Amino acid sequence: MSMPEQTVTGQTLPSVIASPELESQKQVLILTIVFHPDTRRIGEIAQFEKLSGERPKLLGRALPAFKHPDNTSAAMPLNDPYISKQALRVRYSNGSVLLHRDSSSSRAQVGGRELSGETRLSRAQLEVGVPILLGGRVVLLLRRTPQFKPSSQRGLCFSGMIGSSAYMGRLREQIAQLASAKLDILIRGETGTGKELVAEAVHGASDRASKKMIAVNMAAIPEALGPALLFGSAKGAFTGADKAAVGYFQQAEGGTLFLDEIGATPAEVQAQLLRALQQREIQTVGGAIKTVDVHVISATDAQLDGQSCNFKAALRHRLAESEIALLPLRQHPEDIGELLWAFLQNSMASLGQSHVLPQESLRADEIARWAELFHRFVAYSWPGNIRELSNCAQQVASASEVSAVIPDIVAERFSDTSTTVHCDVATVTRATVPRSKDYSDQEFHEGLRNARYEVLRTARQLGISKQAVYRRISESPDLCLASDLSDEQIRAALRDYPDDLTATAMQLRVSRTALRGRLRSLSVSG
């Protein structure tokens, strides 16, 4: 799937459309590639349409075959040499799905835990989505979703509309349908789900694309100025009106008017807005009635219905001649890999760091760091939706100067158990947790350096415990903690880098956070 060259500043990408037609489609088990060393394969899917308790399906290096649902390229297996041919066996059992790993198979994490033996995944877990990390290199998401229909999605492409899920395919189809219609549209969805980008996609695919799309934030319009800003005003219509002003409706003549945050429209303005929509006529303040030709698209994350709502029912129904409902990102997590990859590409390019992005030629430990990063992103429930995902990707790009780094501020979000996808395995036996000694001294030192000597970050990236990191540091003659440094060692390093605490910490090979604590005790400015 082609990626956009850049992400428009201040906008987010769309989530999915909630459609009764989609919800009634056949539900199947789908595996989505969230990360693969060959990053071109991110977003590919494989379907488990039929599973029986008698004959399990294999998940591994050679099976099943994956492909992008929106193209005709040949399906291919994972083909990663670090993954066993029979990494996992998959079968149904009493409404659940059983995953089994043999002791001789490559490592696998299921739902965030190392698997040795067998685990049972409930229907509820599968509806949320279960992350699977195979061989420390390939990240998959196993989820029950509507069945894909590649033929109906083929050829539909809108700039920035990233995602290969069934929901995203249906969203693209509906945008194409509505773009050719003459109906006003109401877009509903949580904040950060990409309502403005959907409006732009509809406008861009319509016969009004050559004209302007004027975007207006209704929440930012002062109540007293609402009519003048929307409909225009004549010279002298009110104090300070020293000349005639053209309103937003006239500015969008022949094109599209996008009314964002429509739920914040003042009650006094709602009646005039309703007339404008019904008659396509506006009353300029202190002036004449004028006819306008505009396509109106509105959007809100607010509740417009109900007795406690002061939004006029007639206006609500007039705005929604057609309605698009965007689902939050947590309800189509199979798109996270493609979204994250696109955001990282854009952010790294803007920083001049595209060379840091994962490539198949990287060492195994570097690929593992990128896989773990994508694994942790797909296990998070994203309360801020795609806007939050974009923000976190930018912070990762800024921190990843040499290889993949999850900055502390992002790691803290992922540590919040209330916003993490929980997929606790039910019957795991003999969990095989990575040990510190599994890493050579060189690999451990590189891990520390890439994590900027932060113990928690190092532990997460290497997949070991904090205690193991502390133990390896204490056993190494070349490493120490900030608490072990002498006052003179710290002062000497500060003389080399008087205004750069990060560089000082890197020279001393200690955590910047811990070093700052030492500086406070020394009464030295950090």
Whether the CB-CB separation of 157 and 3 falls below 8 Å is answered with no
Which positions ≥6 away from 330 have C-beta within 8 Å?
128, 381, 382, 383, 421
The residue type at 470: Y
We find that the CATH architecture of domain 16-150+330-419 is Sandwich (2.60)
Per residue in 361-374, pLDDT tens? 888 889 999 999 99
pLDDT value for 361: 87
Per residue in 35-69, pLDDT tens? 999 999 999 999 886 666 567 889 999 999 999 88
Distance (Å, rounded) from C-alpha 336 to C-alpha 108?
20
Where are any strands of DSSP class E within 222-265? Answer: 256-260
pLDDT value for 422: 44
DSSP per-residue string spanning 392-460: HHHHHHHH-SSS----HHHHHHHH-GGGB-----SSB-S-----GGGS-HHHHHHHHHHTTT-HHHHHH
pLDDT value for 171: 92
pLDDT value for 429: 33
- Strands 185-188, 322-327: pairing kind: parallel
Distance (Å, rounded) from C-alpha 332 to C-alpha 163?
9
Which positions ≥6 away from 91 have C-beta within 8 Å?
51, 52, 53, 55, 56, 57, 97, 98
Instruction: Give the residue carrying structure tokens 């593992």.
Output: 368
Which positions ≥6 away from 283 have C-beta within 8 Å?
227, 231, 272, 275, 289
With a cut of 50, list the residues of the chain below it in pLDDT. 1-13, 15-24, 151, 153-154, 422-433, 524-526
Name the residue ranges covered by the structural domains of the chain: 16-150+330-419, 184-320, 483-526
pLDDT value for 497: 80
Which positions ≥6 away from 231 have C-beta within 8 Å?
247, 249, 250, 272, 276, 282, 283, 284, 285
pLDDT value for 417: 57
Give domain 184-320's CATH number out of 3.30.300.340, 3.40.50.300, 1.10.150.120, 3.40.718.10. 3.40.50.300
